[in-house]
């Protein structure tokens, strides 16, 4: 079916500087920027939900999910009952077919955008203002804020889908959120133990949102994603924004794998290498003593009984993170509410 208006084509045309028809008039929709669209139901909402994609432009499946949800609202097929802000976060990197144009935008939030002047620095500052505008323009009353920042991973993962729970500054983790994510097919959770400059930490820390970086699987080109693998997440996000009260099953600790960051290994030298092949999957375990990385003359060996590697990237800029290691934490050791 060909569409007369395609929200992704509209967003990409703006990034290319090309003409495209205006966003259609819709009584519930407000365009904050190209690719940034707020939807406000007439009455009765209690949730302010941000669903963002394309912070990394080559992570296509979440872009397709967001595009299709916006089209479903435009077509009258999805009735919105909660306030939603959809964000296609970095259209220029989608046009380029790359993770980012100049700088990894998911390191530029919580003010880090002030350290430079690239397109990504400037746009991260704008995205922060859109988040603020959306959360602070909600109707008065008891409300709950959410932000799901959707990604796909560069590499295979022993746990295909996982979410990063931003640093909580001592506040408890939420059973309801773990259950929601598990219903999305995301039963593996990585706990951040320090502030970060990610988009989800920004919303969590600045606005008290239940916010997550959600990794939905491996990157594929547009049109080559097997969307059935994202069906559970798609269904749950649609439920979240189209119901008054979201029905969730009871919390079940046995559903969740929780991982704690054990170590962050930064590249500090031009001579840097990882001691395992490029295609090793995220969450692959290594035994105590195994050599993980060599940074100049410093060797990094596994220190715990078992550490799993995650997000390895030997080619990061000097000073940036090249590898994380994580260890599994029993759910019972979490401070849960």
56 vs 218, which CB is nearer to Zn ion? 56
Smallest separation, CB 107 to Zn ion (Å):
11
Known catalytic residue at 215: yes
Binder of Zn ion out of 47, 67, 83, 151 (CB under 5 A): 151
Token pair 């590249």 in the structure block, residue: 267
Considering the complex, what minimum distance in angstroms separates the CB of residue 54 from Zn ion? 9
Residue position matching structure tokens 């309801």: 176
Nearer to Zn ion, 151 or 308 (CB): 151
**Choice between 60 and 242, CB closer to Zn ion:** 60
Task: Please say which residue, 128 or 295, places its beta carbon nearer to Zn ion.
Answer: 128
151 is in an annotated binding site: yes
Quote the Cα angle for 49-54-60, to 5°. 115
Q: Candidates 21-29, 50-58, 90-98, 241-249: pick the segment binding Zn ion (CB under 5 A).
A: 50-58
Residue 88, both tokens:
């296609």
Please name the helix (run of DSSP H) or strand (run of DSSP E) that holds residue 293, with its range, or none.
strand 291-295
Contact between residue 65 and residue 148 where contact means Cβ atoms under 8 Å apart: no
Q: Point out which span in 48-56, 138-146, 236-244, 326-334 binds Zn ion (CB under 5 A).
A: 48-56
Q: List Cβ neighbours of 220 (8 Å cut-off, separation of 6 or more).
A: 60, 61, 152, 226
Pattern 103-142, binding to Zn ion, x per CB under 5 A? ----------------------------------------
Binding residue (CB under 5 A) for Zn ion from 47, 56, 107, 113: 56
Judged by DSSP in three states, 161 sits in coil
Question: Given 215, 271, 303, 328, which residue is catalytic?
Answer: 215
Residue in the shown chain whose Cβ atom is closest to Zn ion: 151
Nearest distance from C-beta of residue 159 to Zn ion, angstroms: 16
CA distance 117 to 26: 35
* CB distance 51 to 66 below 8 Å: yes
Residue for token digits 């849960």?
Answer: 336
Distance CA 241, CA 39 (A): 10
Smallest gap from Cβ 311 to Zn ion, in A, equals: 10
- Please report which residue ranges of the chain form alpha helices under DSSP H: 7-16, 60-74, 91-96, 119-136, 175-183, 199-207, 231-242
Q: Which one, 52 or 110, has the nearer CB to Zn ion?
A: 52
121 is in an annotated binding site: no
Nearest distance, CB of residue 56 and Zn ion, angstroms = 4
| Number of residues forming the site for Zn ion (CB under 5 A) | 3
Query: Per the annotation, does 123 bind a ligand?
Result: no
* CA atoms of 3 and 6, how far apart (whole Å): 6
Of the CA atoms within 13 Å of residue 170, those in its CB half-sphere come to: 0
| Binding site as annotated, residues | 56, 59, 151
Residues forming the active site:
215
Binding residues (CB under 5 A) for Zn ion: these are: 56, 59, 151
| Binding site as annotated, residues for Zn(2+) | 56, 59, 151
């Amino acid at each position: 079916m060909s569409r007369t208006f395609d929200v992704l084509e509209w967003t990409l045309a703006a990034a290319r500087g090309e003409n495209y028809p205006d966003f259609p008039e819709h009584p519930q929709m407000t365009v904050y920027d190209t690719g940034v669209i707020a939807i406000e139901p007439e009455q009765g909402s209690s949730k302010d939900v941000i669903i963002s994609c394309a912070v990394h432009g080559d992570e296509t499946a979440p872009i397709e999910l967001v595009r299709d949800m916006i089209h479903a609202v435009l077509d009258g097929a999805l009735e919105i009952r909660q306030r939603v802000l959809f964000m296609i976060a970095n259209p220029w990197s989608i046009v380029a077919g790359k993770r980012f144009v100049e700088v990894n935008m998911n390191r530029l939030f919580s003010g880090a955008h002030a350290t430079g002047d690239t397109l990504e620095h400037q746009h991260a500052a704008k995205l922060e203002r859109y988040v603020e505008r959306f959360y602070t323009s909600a109707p008065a009353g008891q409300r709950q804020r959410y932000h799901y920042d959707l990604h796909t991973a560069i590499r295979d993962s022993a746990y295909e889908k996982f979410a990063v729970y931003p640093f909580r500054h001592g506040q408890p983790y939420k059973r309801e959120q773990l259950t929601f994510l598990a219903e999305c097919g995301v039963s593996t959770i990585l706990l951040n133990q320090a502030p970060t400059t990610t988009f989800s930490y920004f919303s969590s820390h600045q606005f008290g949102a239940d916010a997550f970086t959600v990794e939905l699987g491996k990157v594929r080109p547009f049109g080559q994603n097997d969307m059935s693998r994202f069906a559970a997440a798609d269904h749950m996000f649609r439920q979240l924004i189209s119901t008054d009260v979201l029905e969730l099953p009871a919390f079940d600790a046995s559903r969740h794998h929780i991982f704690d960051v054990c170590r962050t290994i930064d590249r500090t030298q031009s001579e840097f290498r990882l001691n395992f092949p490029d295609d090793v999957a995220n969450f692959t375990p290594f035994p105590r003593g195994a050599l993980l990385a060599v940074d100049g003359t410093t060797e990094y060996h596994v220190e715990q009984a078992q550490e799993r590697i995650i997000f390895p990237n030997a080619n990061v800029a000097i000073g940036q993170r090249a590898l994380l290691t994580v260890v599994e934490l029993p759910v019972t050791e979490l401070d849960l509410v």
